[in-house]
Chain A
Amino acid sequence: MIDDNDKIKVLIADDEVEFASTLATRLNLRNFSTTVVNSGQQTLSAVAKEQPDIVLLDLKMPDLDGLEVLAMLREEHPELKVIIITGHGSFEMGREGMELGASDYIMKPVDLNLLIEKISDICLGSKKDS
């Protein structure tokens, strides 16, 4: 049994409510601890409040653009790990996100195994480094 403190804390920021909640359910079943937010502003508040290990950040949100959120996160929480989640045809935006300091990106529809591999590599890799 994994203690809650040992779980990787994932903040899912996506305005597609069903997508975000489904992803959270699946990640919870794989022993991650998740929080879901549905806007850019909520993402910034949740990062300060929840202190996640990693943020899964959608690039298209209604209030703040994902890249804007990413820039603000980089400024206020430079150590925070971010994986960009991009929709169809926004491969370039994913790359742009990487240039802004995101750790990685993944395209929708999301292959859960691939996402978990990326999260684990990034979070466990950074834990080893520290």
Chain B
Amino acid sequence: MRKLLMPIQGDFIAPRFDLATEILIVNFENGTVQGDPKTIIMERPSDEELCQMVVKENVTDVVCGGIEELHYNFLVWKKVAVCDSVIGGWKKVLEKVLDNTLSQGDIILFGDEQLLTL
């Protein structure tokens, strides 16, 4: 079982890791989501707190937009797979994570996505 954390902003991956206040955590295995995704709303943006959350929640994968090198290195040191510089709607991004086709720097064009309900 892997655990994915995505900082989001509305329907999209948050453009900056350090300014995100909405966090989506999804458990997945063999290309399918396991259980209910968890949405967390932070009191204020904080990259330090976000890194702590990654560690505390035993997250294995992070998908984000821009992230500072310091925090990127910290997460990688903690054996977290970080896919950064991703731009796009989080639903499409999640689909690509499940398909194992998401790469660092991917720009996923906004298609005919439904309004988010999570």
A109 to B42, CA, bound (A): 4
Measured CB to CB, the closest approach of chain A to B113, in angstroms, equals: 14
Q: Find out whether the CB atom of B36 lies under 8 angstroms from the CB atom of A113.
A: yes
Q: Quick one: which of A23, A26, A29, A111 contacts B38, CB cutoff 8 A?
A: A111
Residues from chain B with Cβ under 8 Å of A6 in the complex: none
Report the interface size for chain A: residues with CB under 8 A from the other chain.
17
Residues from chain A with Cβ under 8 Å of B42 in the complex: 19, 108-109
Q: Quick one: which of B36, B41, B118 contacts A19, CB cutoff 8 A?
A: B41
Closest to A107 in B: B43
Residues from chain B with Cβ under 8 Å of A111 in the complex: 38-40
Interface string of A98-130 (1 = CB under 8 A from B): 000000000011111100000000000000000
Residues from chain A with Cβ under 8 Å of B115 in the complex: 29
Q: Find out whether the CB atom of B36 lies under 8 angstroms from the CB atom of A16.
A: no
Q: Find out whether the CB atom of B38 lies under 8 angstroms from the CB atom of A113.
A: yes
Task: Report A1-26 residues with CB < 8 Å from chain B CB.
Answer: 16, 18-19, 22-23, 25-26
Report the interface size for chain B: residues with CB under 8 A from the other chain.
19
The 6 closest A-B CB pairs, nearest first, are A112-B39, A108-B43, A109-B42, A110-B41, A109-B40, A22-B21
Q: Judge whether A49 is part of the interface by a CB distance below 8 angstroms.
A: no
Task: Report B45-59 residues with CB < 8 Å from chain A CB.
Answer: 45, 49, 53
Q: Find out whether the CB atom of B41 lies under 8 angstroms from the CB atom of A112.
A: yes
**12 other A-B residue contacts (CB within 8 Å) besides A16-B44, A19-B42, A19-B44:** A22-B21, A22-B22, A29-B116, A29-B117, A108-B41, A108-B43, A109-B40, A109-B41, A109-B53, A111-B39, A112-B39, A112-B41
Q: Contacts A18-B21, A19-B21; is A26 near B41 (CB within 8 Å)? A: yes
A30 to B41, CA, bound (A): 15
A–B Cβ pairs within 8 angstroms, 15 of them: A16-B44, A18-B21, A19-B42, A19-B43, A22-B21, A26-B22, A26-B41, A30-B117, A108-B42, A108-B43, A109-B40, A109-B42, A111-B39, A112-B40, A113-B38
